[in-house]
Amino acid sequence: MLLKKTQYALYALLNLARNYKKGPVLISIIAEEEKLPKKFLEAILADLKTQGLVNSKKGKGGGYYLIVPPEKIDIASIIRSFDGALGLLPCATINYYESCSQCKDENKCALRSVLRELRDQTDHFLKNISLLDLIEKEKSLEMIESRRS
């Protein structure tokens, strides 16, 4: 399961992506629109700024805004930066690798071998979804739903 923080970060980024190149968005607006706890959101946006995905402007007319194009931000990297590894075991990850104290020889560990495969599959899946993809998906879901009524 993802951390709340990760989930909130994704919602916040989606909001900013929808307003890409439309000027800064207030923290309070994002918090309200996405129903996120404001103070918590502040911390998340600060992280995203450190990561170089967003920037902020102080004073009247200020707020946060995306500085990387939505099609260049993929979900895998966002999840990784907040939640950490995608793999299910430390010995089955790439970026967060840690050897496993149980195994005599990791290269003979069937569990690791299989979970590595899964990790690669998951990584591949998430790496190929950008914020822009999500926004477009939103629109098409909207269409489908409205056609129902």
Partner DNA sequence: ATAAAGTCTATTTGCTAAGTAGGGTAATGA
Partner DNA sequence: TCATTACCCTACTTAGCAAATAGACTTTAT
Residue 18 CB, nearest distance to a second copy (Å)?
11
Contact mark string toward DNA, 62..101, x via CB under 7 A: xxx-------------------------------------
CB 54 within 8 A of CB 48: yes
CB 68 within 8 A of CB 55: no
Q: Which structure tokens are listed for 106?
A: 């990791």
Q: Which is nearer to DNA, 84 or 132 (CB)?
A: 84
CA neighbours closer than 13 Å in the CB half-sphere of residue 16:
30
Q: Among residues 64, 125, 65, 114, which one has the least CA distance to residue 92?
A: 114
Q: Which is nearer to a second copy, 62 or 120 (CB)?
A: 120
Rounded Cα gap, residues 132 and 42, in angstroms: 23
Residue 57 CB, nearest distance to a second copy (Å)?
26
Would you tell me which residues interact with a second copy (CB under 8 A)? 1-2, 7, 10-11, 14, 34-36, 75, 79, 84-85, 87-90, 101-102, 105, 107-111, 113-114, 117-118, 121-122, 125-126, 129, 134-135, 137-138, 141-142, 145
